Structure 1
Amino acid sequence: MMKQGYTMLRLILGDQLNAKHHWYQSTNPDVLYVIAELKQETDYVVHHQQKICAFFAAMENFAKALQQAGHEVLHLTLDDTESYTDLLQLIASLCEQYQCQGFEYQQPDEYRLSEQLSSLTLDGVTIQTTDTDHFLLPLTEIDQYLTAGKHNRMEHFYRAMRKRFNILMCEEKPEGGKWNFDQANRNKLKPTDIAAIPQPLMFTNDVSDITERLARHSISTIGFSPQYLLWPVSRKQSQALLEHFCRYLLPHFGRFQDAMTTHSDSAWSLYHARLSFALNAKMLHPMQVIQAAMNAYQQPNSEINIAQVEGFVRQILGWREFIRAVYWLNMPHYGENNTLSANRALPAFFWHGKTQMQCMSYAIKQSLEYSYAHHIQRLMVTGNFCLLTEIAPSEVEQWYLGIYIDAIEWVEKPNTLGMALFADGGIVATKPYAASGAYINKMSDYCASCHYDVKKKVGSDACPFNSLYWRFMAQHRVLLAKNPRVGMLFMHWDKLDDSEQAAIIAQAEHYLNDLDAL
């Protein structure tokens, strides 16, 4: 039973489930914490049902944990908030209902929510904001490491973070003598490797009440609808997943970081940590994750070598912090970038996975089933396809933002617009990550059972990635030839005679005219 009045109302967003936040270090009966399900958050894009279920279940568990710790907590479901048009109306109503003198919120990670909350005015109520106590690099210090509107090398940023936090360092030098062991992390899975892939740790969280609630409120969703959710929805489950990763997966994490296969029940998870949802919802702290990996690496007789742990640390300490910095430095105009003038519609098979391209079918169907795909599937399969076929960045972004359980705008937007589509013109990446079918064949076994022939550029069964790749390169030659990492590839194209070039371009145009038929 809530009291009639509280001195302070504090808002907890669905991705602010940080039990170690300074708010919770002491209890105060005059402070009311509010965590609420809102249609505003379910409807800004069409989300995977598992994504909404995971956030809602984690929010409910977090509210219960705070209550058990002695805090005053108001947890509101869609049933409770259906009459409110948006978050601001809800806050205003609650402040009036509970006679609050102050309102406080943690800095949102998404620009849209930050702008929305910063526009809030409440008569007679003071408004304050505070940090989330989560990211390693404070927002106020980002511009000391990166410059807005230009390309900043992630490697430089990563090295600075290593030094700042003394991770994998021997005095002023990197442990192992090198900063980066990425060259050791590009192995394809052989049959013996596939047979040894561990089973993923999956949870059985009953979310039937949430799925029923979503249906009752007519929330549009995509993807497989679960009764039991395999993703962690509490701090305890998140810690268990972290421990499982360090014990069973980290020894081979980097080695097969870019690999893909269809020949395993664990093919969708492989050696990946799958901690991104727990991290992005803040059930885990990035330094907690890094230290767990470091502790496992430093154990006597550990099977984890420097290449494995460095590859993982780079993703958390380097890439994750870097992407967040790029996002905040370049918003709000970052999302308007479309350097390559891409404007095609997303093909229908992105919503059901029914395409004759084995790599695309597998990656999309996996995403629909698990709300998850690892970084190479996102970048070099679906992302590469959207890059080569010039799909409008806004359509690609909405798909990525909706379908993946870990997709929150601060991390999704730079990865999609910058890495996958090169729409930002090089703010994130030094070149477009365009590739023919040869790359996918090198890193996977997708091509062996595909309708299309990965070795062919032209013909009715020619791999679409091959002709689309060369058309893309020719189409954007003026831009790409200036790039030393790309320009040399045109030497191969220029060796083809005019008729061969024309046939490849015609093949690509044939595919582009009816992408849904692929």
Structure 2
Amino acid sequence: MGDQLSRDISSLKDARKTKDVILMGELWDEATSVRHHKKKIILVLSAMRHFAEELKKDGWRVDYQKLDDKNATRSFTELVNRAVKNHEPAELIVTEPSERRVLQEVEGWEKAFSIPVEIRTDDRFIASHQEFDDWAKSRKQLRMEYFYREMRRKTGLLMEGDKPAGGEWNYDKENRKPASGDLFMPSPKTFKPDAITKDVIDLVKGKFAEHFGDAEPFQFAVTRKDALKALDHFIKEALPRFGDFQDAMLTGERFLYHSVLSAYINIGLLDPLEVCKRAENAYLSGDAPINAAEGFIRQIIGWREYVRGHYWRGGEEYVRRNFFGNERKLPAFYWSGETDMACIRETVTQTLEDAYAHHIQRLMVTGLFAMLAGIDPYDVHEWYLIVYFDAFEWVEAPNVIGMSQYADGGALGSKPYAASGAYINRMSDYCKTCRYAVTKKTEEDACPFNTLYWDFLARNEKKLKDNPRLAQMYRTWAKMEKGTKLSYRARARAILDKLDAGERI
């Protein structure tokens, strides 16, 4: 499948060049399951074509369907049905799909085709489904930090015997520095499209013209060889300062010290453990500080594995959870970037052009506004799945439903990530060029995040007041004069009415 482009994927581990056929297909149903960003479709299709060519050159028989082939099938099941008729196989072997809807389709194949179907574990992940369930079932609350420590012990990464390297498990307190424009900012490694990629770009521009985002310039790696170059570049040029500035945001600096490797890991061009070992080696050799190596490794063996566990444990209805009962529709500026809020304009414009924004832009700008404004979390989930090049439902849904929108009521995280404009001002330079004043509270030109923050706490007080991590904020709210409270709520109402009316904010 398009996110299984690894030579050592479990379905290929005992494959035989003399007898086996490798089946791959570009499928309309997958490209349009949501209206994926053009660059995301280009990335996956080009990487698939390159992977198939590498297999063929290595002597494998590959049955490959291009999206624009005559009589191309639309779905996995149709593709397999045709291949079964053509090849008459004794058995079908597949690595488990990463998404629930596809797994349900695969689970019906044995009955549909009357041949044995072996669904193998995706062992590119560190924790199996059973391991995560065993860890989770004995706990009243699930928290990533404790799961992460188990993954550190299992992998041995940044461990000194049974103790964490440097004496601490987590150095996040050192990783919240704002950045300034006079820093040297390394750009991620980029790659010129070859003939295969150019063909895919033309295909996507023709067939998916109405999809979100820009198709060009396209500069991502589409082979393992180039993905390894991108990894080398990050370890050498950006990892040493990644920790310090991983939460920072700067106008015009879209990548800062971030790796931009997530999509390569998610589609199989890079193995997550090899990436983490490279970061660990940089620390051990003195080329990166502990806070940088630990923070980067935590995102992969901690957070990435943790959200995958939640996705499968959460069940089919997880993406429909709506703890706050939010029903407002996603504002049009999430698609256009046309808003007077500089932070959202910068993030959405970047997303349109690059299919990328880093985790704080996603969580504390677009995600934060959506939660404060009471946007339907399913709409927010679908938007993130559409717009980002690394978004696959298993990793995107828990990040949005659980972390960003707190729509699961705390199953994934201990509190909603609610903040006023002060946080964005502290971690970015966006507020300097915004028409709204981050220092103002309820005036016409006050930052909408300021007003909506208190309105969010007020309207959800019954659901959140007993959360110990919000106790101080509710004490502050309780001490406010009645007139101040009414001013916050009235200004918030005016902003939300403008949203509902489709007016510019």
Give the TM-score range, shorter chain. Answer: over 0.9
Match for residue 69 of structure 2? 80
For residue 305 of structure 2, the aligned residue among 299, 321, 333 is: 321
1:356 partnered with 2:322: no
Instruction: Give the Å deviation of 1:29.
Output: 2.4
Figure out how many residues of one structure are paired with residues of the other and give that number. Answer: 498
1:466 partnered with 2:450: yes
Q: Per-residue CA shift, 1:279-314, capped at 9, x if unaligned? A: 000111111001111111112xx2411111111111
Instruction: Give the Å deviation of 1:410.
Output: 0.3
Q: Per-residue CA shift, 1:343-382, capped at 9, x if unaligned? A: 1110111111010000000000001110000000000000
1:203 partnered with 2:187: no
Q: Per-residue CA shift, 1:459-517, capped at 9, x if unaligned? A: 22110001000000001112211011102112222232111111111100100012242
Please, which moves more after superposition, 493-502 or 147-156?
147-156
Instruction: Give the Å deviation of 1:191.
Output: 3.8
Q: Per-residue CA shift, 1:94-148, capped at 9, x if unaligned? A: 1002222221111011111101111223444221111233111122322111239
For residue 116 of structure 1, the aligned residue among 83, 99, 105 is: 105
Match for residue 278 of structure 1? 264
Matched residue SS, 1:78: coil
Matched residue SS, 1:128: strand
Mapping of residues 86-485 of structure 1, within 5 Å: 86-120=75-109, 121-147=111-137, 151-193=141-183, 196-206=184-194, 207-217=197-207, 220-226=210-216, 228-262=217-251, 264=252, 267-299=253-285, 302-485=286-469
Cα distance between partner residues in 2 of 1:251 and 1:181: 14
The TM-score normalised by the length of structure 1 is 0.93
Matched residue SS, 1:319: helix
Matched residue SS, 2:221: coil
Quick check: 1:150–1:426 contact (8 Å CA) kept in 2? no
Please, which moves more after superposition, 216-225 or 174-183?
216-225
Match for residue 30 of structure 2? 41
Q: Per-residue CA shift, 1:180-217, capped at 9, x if unaligned? A: 11000000013432xx1123211122433223323444
Cα distance between partner residues in 2 of 1:150 and 1:229: 46
Instruction: Give the Å deviation of 1:71.
Output: 0.9
Instruction: Give the Å deviation of 1:447.
Output: 0.2
Sequence identity (%): 38
The TM-score normalised by the length of structure 2 is 0.95
RMSD value, Cα? 1.6
TM-aligned CA distance change 1:175 to 1:81, over 3 Å: farther
Quick check: 1:147–1:329 contact (8 Å CA) kept in 2? no
Which stretches in structure 2 are left out of the alignment for 5+ residues?
none
Cα distance between partner residues in 1 of 2:476 and 2:208: 54
Cα distance between partner residues in 1 of 2:224 and 2:242: 23
Q: Per-residue CA shift, 1:5-60, capped at 9, x if unaligned? A: xxxxxxxx000011123515663222111111111101111110000000000000
TM-aligned CA distance change 1:208 to 1:191, over 3 Å: closer
Cα distance between partner residues in 2 of 1:163 and 1:132: 21
Quick check: 1:146–1:325 contact (8 Å CA) kept in 2? no
Amino acid across the alignment from 1:177: G
Instruction: Give the Å deviation of 1:170.
Output: 1.4
Cα distance between partner residues in 2 of 1:350 and 1:153: 30
TM-aligned CA distance change 1:393 to 1:185, over 3 Å: same
Cα distance between partner residues in 2 of 1:379 and 1:179: 23
Amino acid across the alignment from 1:192: D
Cα distance between partner residues in 1 of 2:113 and 2:248: 56
Quick check: 1:457–1:466 contact (8 Å CA) kept in 2? yes
Cα distance between partner residues in 1 of 2:260 and 2:354: 11
Cα distance between partner residues in 2 of 1:426 and 1:238: 36
Match for residue 490 of structure 1? 474
Quick check: 2:180–2:250 contact (8 Å CA) kept in 1? no
Matched residue SS, 2:68: helix
Cα distance between partner residues in 2 of 1:231 and 1:246: 17
Cα distance between partner residues in 1 of 2:234 and 2:206: 37
Quick check: 1:434–1:469 contact (8 Å CA) kept in 2? yes
Q: Per-residue CA shift, 1:324-347, capped at 9, x if unaligned? A: 111111121212210100111101
Amino acid across the alignment from 1:93: R
Cα distance between partner residues in 1 of 2:328 and 2:309: 30
TM-aligned CA distance change 1:179 to 1:218, over 3 Å: closer
Amino acid across the alignment from 1:56: L
